[in-house]
Amino acid sequence: MTENRAGTVRRICQDHGGDRTRMMDIVLAVQKEFGYVPSAMMDVIAAETGSHRVEVESVVSFYAFLSSRPKGKVIIRLCDDIIDQMAGAERVRQVFEEELGIRVGQTTADGRITLEHTPCIGMSDQAPAALVNDVVVTELNGDKAREVARSLLEYMDPDRLVREYGDGNNAHELIQSMVHNHIRRRDQVILADMTPGEALNKALAMSPAEVIRDVNTARLRGRGGAGFPTGMKWNFTRRAAGTDRYVVCNADEGEPGTFKDRVILTEATDLMIEGMTIGGYAVGANTGIIYLRAEYAYLRAYLEHALEERRRQGLLGKSICGKQGFDFDIRIQMGAGAYICGEETSLLSSCEGERGDPKNRPPFPAEKGYMGKPTTVNNVETFCCVARILEKGPGWFAQIGSEGSSGTKLLSISGDCRGPGVYEVPFGISLREVQRMAGAVDTAAMQIGGPSGQMVGPEDFDRSICFDDISTGGSIMIFGADRDLLHVVDQFMAFFIEESCGYCTPCRVGNVLLRKRLNAVRQGLGTAADLQYLQELGETVKLASRCGLGQTSPNPILTTLERFRPLYEAKLKAEDDGLLSTFDVRSAMSEAEAITGRSSVHFSKA
Amino acid sequence: MGKPIIATTSLAGCFGCHMSILDIDDRILKLFELIDFDRSPINDIKHISQRCAVGLVEGGCANEENVVVLQEFRQNCDVLVSVGDCATMGGIPALRNTISLKECLDEAYLNGPTVFNATGKVPDSEDIPLLLNKVYPCHEVVKMDYHLPGCPPPADAIWEALVALLNGKPLELPYELIKYD
Amino acid sequence: MGDKITFTIDGKDIEADAGQTILEAAEAAHMYIPRLCAHPDLQPYGSCRVCTVLVDGRPQSACTQPVAAGAVVESGTDKVTEIRRQIIEMLFVEGNHYCMFCEKSGNCELQALAYRFGITAPRYPYLFPHRDLDATHPDVFIDRNRCVLCGRCVRASRDVDGKNVFQFVGRGPEKRIAFNSEANLAGTNLDVMDKAVDVCPVGAILRKREGFRIPVGRRAYDHVPIGSDIETTAAK
């Protein structure tokens, strides 16, 4: 059997040219074949790709969707982010556990079905949701979870779970998903009609430098959250020394609470690809890569089809739109479950077949990116903006939005509101207006920009969404008055601990320490000194961490310490017994009490 | 005003740090001129009877009685000092911290290759303090003002510390006296 | 290359070659910037963050950051020292560092850093993780309790020994060092004389039968702080 397997694995490696930089595709394919990446096969992969076994193991162990241990033919991944929890994920979990007779993290005794938790899968507007292999199931509740579990036990066929298709291209024959777009507000930039090729032809009539000039004139800034001027990035890439250049589209939408790229990928597909192609022309690239998060694997066939269509129309491939010398094509690189890969240098590591560790900067990707070549990495939405800028002109684009933030922004709104979904709004919209638009009443807090962003309360509701005030990559979570905000903070910290790559000390260790102390305070063991500790440790992690993940990971604690301090203060110890928050005398004796069957003579139960 | 009072105790330690206190050699005579001891294994006084200037704690916090002692020291000493690696980081007793308590007890009293235990039971009585799930450094249980690392800390470090603290000065050890082994 | 540039560290003018890292330039000027994952024979890595400096106010790792003309670098200020101290303390609580019986004690770079910073106990609670050791190799053992994930062995084995014996597996707090073998260290082609064995800053990778050979008092950091060799020739 091992011989057969080895043969299969060899073939998979050969299909990828024995190229170790295609390690992600190879291990994903091996996993698709066997349900996991067997340890013995790592040696085969290493031999076929001129790599080392431990390098293969390193990659496999890094990504949440890859496993070196056998798993079920069907893997149910229940989304357990905060929005799903609020929508009833706990009940859904219970039902799955009951019906399957296993706990989360386990596989049924017959080895057929595995049950797992996973962070945000980009369905916060239709929570609770789950992935069953590549199939998305949404708006779960106890009854639906029971139905899903029983259907799987009987038929082992995730596709059977989809009875009705969602709107728009979710119903496309290559998607056939129950996912809904929930587009609740359209504006002129992203969610408007377009004619494929129009913007591209206009761009190709100009010189690459002129295209970049237009993007600069439009004052376009990156939509992923950081807001770096796109034209400047392209200029760096264009001017960098080197021959091959790359354009990479970051479709690794992993920030909890954001799902707008999912909608762009199906409803503004051409706009996005056109923007990428224009980017390729502008920076002088021949190759584009769409890095698609594993959670959106169900969109892959559709996207491949869209790329193929454009090749057919002469909008991709050789001599695009008849322009001699402009050859540009795009491939899709699948991710495998790692939030860190949304960070551009981690994303490039992943594209190169490595662990998704961020790279040291400098050199920046514009100079030395994918395979050491000049590379620009831009967000899905940014590419859409580019195409529209070229179509309608930079002046038209620049007059939309606010002073320092031109254009529109897609917001993914979820949580306590009547209209969770995608909203395209001009920059400059106030948070209060966002609430009104989404039908949120009695709002206690809003998390802007996901866990890496900030939590704001009523005193900030008149502030506006733009790069100069409150910036967001798109995630907006709304929390009503009855939500335990410190629980939200705890869940965000758990998320960062889970998703840290572990490369640098402050992020790897600091976040664990932060969460421990946060929970000591939540349990009522803390004093004012503990709040000081959280503040100081949080600031150090922010300052000393190597990449954007660590530099933002303490934000849930730091922003709530600043704006929701009374919530912490209410938890502080009323009477100081001299014991520190690092020591919980009751739980410290739990094992001994269980073993001896008696309770402490000194510290009786409170 | 009488002489400053010092209290000392050994929790989950080996008394090696107390040996190191005695290791200050003839300076101990000078020490006795300068201070009086309250609760300490040196004089076998069981509880602190008066306000103390300095409390020296050897050993980590491993059971409920250790917690009570630490509380007593914290309440009655102006300055509290962890003496030795067990007090500052758990030390050798903390090697059990990565193993469950039940496993540790079973190995020690039932399953270990050298165990002869006719009762077949882990000893237990009201008089045996309940063990904590793990051994804690003292400063994770109560606030400790200073730490003297070392296994044991050099006698010179203990002497320097006492001289500084009894003179109301902050404790700043020179490079050669901060050692973890 | 060959171009000289000037910048300042803590107000002192430093002349450096373009392309040097801040850490290298500082060292050439006899200024010691504390570091752990950096090693003169290995590629810069930037993981431990002990060498964090502020470059024109922005935090950077000195071991990876190239010098820039006119840059104002803060290294020995209270603020930077405090960050480094916290990082060193994090490394102590993250693993199980029992200096009192560690063969590396006195020659350990992590311990030496703590000594240099005058750390008597970390402010953070110890995490006491469960970690495995591997003593299957005839001449070398690895004790992950002491590993600080600096990646020196990974780089040395790959870039100097040409063997790729070590690599990291897992991520976040679960990240750990692994070997190029399905079973254990004995299954690799690691040799006792490999650079990878030599470069471990702590007692995680050690040669067998060599422990405690150097008596207390004659070890590297018994009397002088780490970095003294860099500083001694400095014009004071």
Give the tens place of pLDDT for each residue, A476-485: 999 999 999 9
Give dist(CA A347, CA B28) in Å, integer: 65
C68 and C17: one domain? yes
Rounded to the nearest angstrom, the minimum Cα separation between C45 and chain A is 8
Asked if A596 is an interface residue toward chain B (Cβ–Cβ < 8 A), one would say yes
Q: Identify the pLDDT of residue C233.
A: 66
Residues of A in contact with B100 (CB under 8 A): 591
C192, HSE (Cβ side, Cα atoms, 13 Å)? 11
Neighbours of B98 (CB within 10 A): 13
A74-163 CATH choice from 3.30.70.270, 3.40.190.10, 3.90.1580.10, 3.40.30.10: 3.40.30.10
Give dist(CA C121, CA C85) in Å, integer: 11
Residue with tokens 């000392």: B8
C94 and C202: one domain? yes
Q: Burial code of C106-135, b = ≥16 C-beta within 10 A, e = fewer?
A: bbbbbbbbbbbbebbbbebbbbbbebeebe
Percentage of residues of chain A with pLDDT beyond 90: 97
The angle at the Cα of B134, spanning B133 to B139, to the nearest 5 degrees, equals: 125
Residues of C in contact with B151 (CB under 8 A): 99-100
**Contact criterion met (CB < 8 Å) for A505 and C47:** yes
Give the tens place of pLDDT for each residue, C54-96: 999 999 999 999 999 999 999 999 999 999 999 999 999 999 9
Task: Please give the residue of chain A at the shortest CA–CA distance from C148.
Answer: A505
Residues spanned by the domain of C179: 87-207
Asked if C121 is an interface residue toward chain B (Cβ–Cβ < 8 A), one would say yes
Rounded to the nearest angstrom, the minimum Cα separation between B119 and chain C is 32
**Residue A226 pLDDT class (50, 70, 90 cuts):** confident
**Residue A578 pLDDT class (50, 70, 90 cuts):** confident
Name the strand (E) or helix (H) holding C83.
helix C78-94
Give dist(CA B115, CA B96) in Å, integer: 18
Q: Return the closest-CA partner of residue A177 out of A114, A131, A143, A124.
A: A131
Q: Which of residues 32-71 of C touch A (CB under 8 A)?
A: 44-50, 52, 59, 61, 64-66
Give dist(CA A395, CA A399) in Å, integer: 6
The residues with which A422 forms a beta bridge, in sequence order, are: A183, A412
Give dist(CA A248, CA A291) in Å, integer: 7
* Residue at B132: amino acid letter: L
Give the tens place of pLDDT for each residue, A27-59: 999 999 999 999 999 999 999 999 999 999 999
A405-483 CATH choice from 3.40.1440.10, 3.90.1300.10, 3.10.20.600, 3.40.120.10: 3.10.20.600
C126 and C40: one domain? no
DSSP conformation letters of A187-249: -SSSSS---TTHHHHHHHTS-HHHHHHHHHHTT-B-TTSS--BHHHHHHHHHHSS-S--EEEE
Assigned CATH topology for domain A185-399: Rossmann fold (3.40.50)
Residues of A in contact with C181 (CB under 8 A): 53-54
Chain A contact probe: residue of C37, C80, C86 with most A CBs at under 10 A: C86
Chain A contact probe: residue of B103, B105, B130 with most A CBs at under 10 A: B130
Nearest beta carbon to residue B85 from set C100, C122, C222: C100
C neighbour chains, 3+ CB pairs within 8 Å: A, B
CATH code at B5-94+135-177? 3.40.50.700
Task: Let me know if residue C216 belongs to a domain.
Answer: no
* Cis check: omega of the bond before A196, within 30 degrees of 0: no
DSSP conformation letters of A421-451: EEEEEETT-BHHHHHHHHT--SEEEEEESST
- Predicted ipTM? 0.97
Q: Return the closest-CA partner of residue A209 out of A230, A235, A179, A174.
A: A235
Q: Does the pLDDT of residue A243 top 90, yes or no?
A: no
Nearest beta carbon to residue C169 from set A57, A503, A505: A57
Nearest beta carbon to residue B88 from set C121, C129, C225: C121
Residues listed for chain B: 181
C157 and C185: one domain? yes
DSSP symbol at C192: T
CB A184 within 8 A of CB A414: no
C62 and C174: one domain? no
**Contact criterion met (CB < 8 Å) for C171 and A540:** no
CB B59 within 8 A of CB B41: no
Last residue of a domain, one of C18, C46, C76: C76
**Contact criterion met (CB < 8 Å) for A582 and C180:** no
Q: Does the pLDDT of residue A307 top 90, yes or no?
A: yes
Give the tens place of pLDDT for each residue, B87-98: 999 999 999 999
**Contact criterion met (CB < 8 Å) for A505 and C87:** yes
Question: What CATH number does residue C58 fall under?
Answer: 3.10.20.740
Q: Return the closest-CA partner of residue C200 out of C22, C32, C42.
A: C42
Asked if C225 is an interface residue toward chain B (Cβ–Cβ < 8 A), one would say yes
Domain ranges, ordered by start, for chain B? 5-94+135-177
Rounded to the nearest angstrom, the minimum Cα separation between B2 and chain C is 31
Q: Return the closest-CA partner of residue B134 out of A603, C126, A594.
A: C126
**Contact criterion met (CB < 8 Å) for C100 and B175:** no
C61 and C100: one domain? no
Q: What is the pLDDT along chain C (236 residues), one digit of tens a residue?
A: 568 999 999 999 999 999 999 999 999 999 999 999 999 999 999 999 999 999 999 999 999 999 999 999 999 999 999 999 999 999 999 999 999 999 999 999 999 999 999 999 999 999 999 999 999 999 999 999 999 999 999 999 999 999 999 999 999 999 999 999 998 999 999 999 999 999 999 999 999 999 999 999 999 999 999 999 999 865 44
B18, HSE (Cβ side, Cα atoms, 13 Å)? 17
**Contact criterion met (CB < 8 Å) for C105 and B181:** yes
| Backbone dihedral angles phi then psi of residue A477, each to the nearest 5 degrees | -110, 135
**Contact criterion met (CB < 8 Å) for A58 and C169:** yes
Name the strand (E) or helix (H) holding A522.
helix A511-522
C158 and C93: one domain? yes
Q: Return the closest-CA partner of residue A378 out of A252, A504, A238.
A: A252
| Backbone dihedral angles phi then psi of residue A225, each to the nearest 5 degrees | 135, -35
Question: Can you say how many angstroms the Cα of residue A487 is from the centroid of all Cα atoms in its chain?
Answer: 21
Residues of B in contact with C144 (CB under 8 A): none
3-state SS class at A104 = coil
Give the tens place of pLDDT for each residue, A501-521: 999 999 999 999 999 999 999
C72 and C41: one domain? yes
Q: Identify the pLDDT of residue C236.
A: 43
Nearest beta carbon to residue B136 from set A583, A595, A600: A583
Chain B contact probe: residue of A580, A581, A587 with most B CBs at under 10 A: A580
Rounded to the nearest angstrom, the minimum Cα separation between C48 and chain A is 5
Residue with tokens 């998607």: A175
Q: Does the pLDDT of residue A3 top 90, yes or no?
A: no
Nearest beta carbon to residue B130 from set A579, A580, A592: A592
Asked if A441 is an interface residue toward chain B (Cβ–Cβ < 8 A), one would say no
C98 and C177: one domain? yes
Asked if C92 is an interface residue toward chain A (Cβ–Cβ < 8 A), one would say no
Residue with tokens 């969707």: A65
Q: Which residues, at least 6 apart from A520, have a Cβ–Cβ distance to it below 8 Å?
A: A526, A530, A581, A582, A584
Task: Please give the residue of chain B at the shortest CA–CA distance from C222.
Answer: B176
**Contact criterion met (CB < 8 Å) for C120 and B137:** no
**Contact criterion met (CB < 8 Å) for C125 and A58:** no
Q: Return the closest-CA partner of residue A283 out of A228, A218, A237.
A: A237
DSSP symbol at A140: -
Rounded to the nearest angstrom, the minimum Cα separation between A281 and chain C is 32
Domain ranges, ordered by start, for chain A? 2-62, 74-163, 185-399, 405-483
Question: Can you say how many angstroms the Cα of residue A483 is from the centroid of all Cα atoms in its chain?
Answer: 24
Rg of chain B (C-alpha set): 18
Q: Model pTM greater than 0.90?
A: yes
pLDDT (average), residues B63-79: 97
**Residue A605 pLDDT class (50, 70, 90 cuts):** low
Question: What CATH number does residue C160 fall under?
Answer: 3.30.70.20
DSSP symbol at C11: T
